[in-house]
Structure 1
Amino acid sequence: MAKKDKPIATVLAFEKKLVPSDGRFYGVAWENKYGPAAPLKLQEKSVRGTISNRLKKPLQDDPLKLDAEVEKPNLQTVDSCALGCDQDTLKLHFTLKILSGVEKPSACNSAEFSASYAQAAKAYIDAEGFTELAGRYAVNIANARFLWRNRVGAERIEVAVRVLNQGEAQSWVFDAKTVGTHSFDLNHADIAALAAKIAAALSGKTEFLLLEISAYAQIGLAQDVYPSEELVLDKGNSKSKKSKILYQIDGIAGMHSQKIGNALRTIDTWYPAHDDSQNGAGPIAIEPYGAVTSLGKAYRTPKEKADFYTLFDRFARGGKLDHKNDEHYVMAVLVRGGVFGESGKD
């Protein structure tokens, strides 16, 4: 079929199927972590820093000019957050909803394309049942990847998961330190059970799944914790403005739902450079071009025919992908959601 004869959807969108809430920060003592938890508040600090940025050539070559530059105060007002003097454990609490219906776009202006895609998606669901993706999402819940920087340096980490659907009372507790962050082997019965619940929701066997997730990280008495940092678009030149603004929800330190979602979908080990020890970055978040902004690199490029659009256009029109992993990746992007309309121009 010539390209101009292929069904084209210039309006095409998918709603996300993993829907986390914002996370809230609490402080507790490890020995009583399931007891009452105190909400953590943000604290404002005014600090006098030193000049530490790279210097221009004239300053590097002139010690007197360097001394004069160093004498200038680097005054900053920043937000910070820390546990109390009787608290050694951070509690991060959020809910996660998993929805069905990935085989139905939320918007599509081509009935022919919609029918072709639905057939391909249903064939994937019938064959795979979302078991591979669900297993990886379950591992990222169990290993507490969503704690981000708060996971580093923690002596013990425990993740408690409870099903909130009416009429269900399942719950699990995971020792996150024993669950790896670089592989997705379902060698734990409880992780496999959680994955089965997620797969049932994604594949439409159940309408949705609602989970309550609480992670406990023992990081030490009165230690700093790290909520999400707000993006400051206009800092201006005023010294009175904060140089770091942390996220809070009704006065409670928090983590953006987007950041939690990014951690949960960090499951892509199928990109071309993954097995290359020099160029691979371990599991990366599911993105159309495999973008890792912290490294300034896209691991899935159209040149390598590994990006989402190249694979999706073939998959959605009934074409056969070269590897089963490509199908997993395409469906994971659709679970992520987004707007993927195609240009109507040649």
Structure 2
Amino acid sequence: MAEKTELKTASVLAFERKLDPSDALFRAGIWERREQDGEWPEVPVREKSVRGTISNRLKTKDQDPAKLDAAIENPNLQTVDVAALPNDADTLMTHFTLKVLGNAGRPCACNNAAYEQKLQTLVQGYIDQEGFGTLAYRYAQNLANGRFLWRNRMGSEEVEVRVSRLEGGEPVESWTFSALDVPLRDFGAEGEAASGLEDLAEAIRQGLSGEKFVLLDVVAFARMGRGQEVFPSQELVLDRSRGDKSKTLYAVNGVAGIHSQKLGNAIRTIDTWYPTASEAASPGPIAVEPYGSVTTQGTAYRQPRQKVDFYSLLDNWGLKDKEPEQGQKHFVMATLIRGGVFGEKVD
């Protein structure tokens, strides 16, 4: 009788992302003319040179006071990128598309057939028990509340989000949300704020399950004030020798925009299942990441030593048949929907 082979994690294991946003581009106009969005001009990125002051923390220990005084008395000359609404426009329009792909949880590359079969059994069990309804609703709420606008949302008097499902390039379903009425911290809107959320979530669920092809067109209008600065993505410049600008903004053919990666991060900010999520000092929902990393805080909320990171949960579930609690199941599936390379390194 042949011995049972111990199941091991595949060394090659990769998943495609199933929520695939485009870049978002900025236009400007008047709030009352939202129906005439075809006439709205693009928001350009332009350079500005400024004369500032030295305000960063300096090393003062063992420093010559005269040299220190000279350092802080000199002006801080900077060239920066800036984007702003024109003086005759008070509203920022942000436009992107979101493709929702099927076969969620199925690897696009796996070099271990037995492991892939076990993984598919777990995924199918999750679909049979839970479906994608919980995750789809949270993704839908992050579209409805305009979380993807980031800083542009925080400085707005009013925000309206319009989501349409396209077929053949034409809208077949549409939903409109008053974004500031849809919660950012808690999932489960009520009253008028919830109107249309269930239907939008159902469309996303159908896309994730592969029942139909789902392409969403997302347009957000943020009333910020005439001539006000707007906030595209900021480029990470690793080689400072290539230029002397202290801030470089993202632009597509000169038009200000937001990276698709930043949009994706906002849409998948649904993880409220990490250990400290219920504490008053918690940041609320965080983006789905294998280790719960929030780089702006320098913190990982899913530490491997706590066995609540993605890899520990997946290995316990798939290799040791230790079924995680419901919330952690949602997290594991959301990480597979996020996509990435998750194979085990071979020594």
TM-score (norm 1): 0.93
Give the structure 2 partner of residue 75 of structure 1: 77
Question: Which runs of no fewer than 5 residues in structure 2 stay unpaired?
Answer: none
Number of aligned residue pairs: 339
Encode CA deviations 1:139-190: one digit per residue, 9 max, x unaligned: 0000000000001121000001111123861001000010000011053230
User: 2:4 and 2:137 mapped to 1: Cα distance?
Assistant: 37
Give the structure 2 partner of residue 28 of structure 1: 29
Cα shift at 1:72: 1.9
Whichever residue aligns with residue 19 of structure 1, its letter is D
Higher mean alpha-carbon deviation, 45-54 vs 319-328, is at 319-328
Note if 1:142 corresponds to 2:148.
no
Relative to 1, partners in 2 of residues 1:162 and 1:174: Cα closer, same or farther, differing over 3 Å?
same
Relative to 1, partners in 2 of residues 1:156 and 1:168: Cα closer, same or farther, differing over 3 Å?
closer
Cα shift at 1:136: 0.2
Give the structure 1 partner of residue 203 of structure 2: 197
1:52 to 48, 52, 55: 55
User: 1:183 and 1:163 mapped to 2: Cα distance?
Assistant: 25
Higher mean alpha-carbon deviation, 34-43 vs 78-87, is at 34-43
User: 2:159 and 2:9 mapped to 1: Cα distance?
Assistant: 48
2:124 to 122, 141, 163: 122
Matches within 5 A, 1:201-216: 201-206=207-212, 208-216=213-221
CA contact (8 A) 2:89 2:227 kept: yes
Whichever residue aligns with residue 75 of structure 2, its letter is P
| Sequence identity (%) | 50
User: 2:332 and 2:9 mapped to 1: Cα distance?
Assistant: 18
Encode CA deviations 1:233-271: one digit per residue, 9 max, x unaligned: 1113x8x62111101111211110000000000000000
Partner-residue secondary structure (3-state), 2:98: strand
Whichever residue aligns with residue 56 of structure 1, its letter is K
User: 2:94 and 2:206 mapped to 1: Cα distance?
Assistant: 26
Whichever residue aligns with residue 251 of structure 2, its letter is Q
User: 1:252 and 1:218 mapped to 2: Cα distance?
Assistant: 19
Cα shift at 1:321: 2.3
CA contact (8 A) 1:98 1:210 kept: yes
User: 1:328 and 1:318 mapped to 2: Cα distance?
Assistant: 19
Relative to 1, partners in 2 of residues 1:295 and 1:221: Cα closer, same or farther, differing over 3 Å?
same
CA contact (8 A) 2:15 2:105 kept: no
Relative to 1, partners in 2 of residues 1:318 and 1:194: Cα closer, same or farther, differing over 3 Å?
farther
- RMSD over equivalenced CA pairs, Å: 1.9
Partner-residue secondary structure (3-state), 1:33: helix
Give the structure 2 partner of residue 299 of structure 1: 301
CA contact (8 A) 1:135 1:186 kept: no
Matches within 5 A, 1:171-250: 171-187=174-190, 188-206=194-212, 208-236=213-241, 241-250=244-253
Give the structure 1 partner of residue 8 of structure 2: 7
Give the structure 2 partner of residue 86 of structure 1: 88
CA contact (8 A) 1:9 1:108 kept: yes
Relative to 1, partners in 2 of residues 1:243 and 1:314: Cα closer, same or farther, differing over 3 Å?
same
Give the structure 1 partner of residue 321 of structure 2: 319
TM-score (norm 2): 0.93
CA contact (8 A) 2:60 2:68 kept: no
Cα shift at 1:200: 1.1
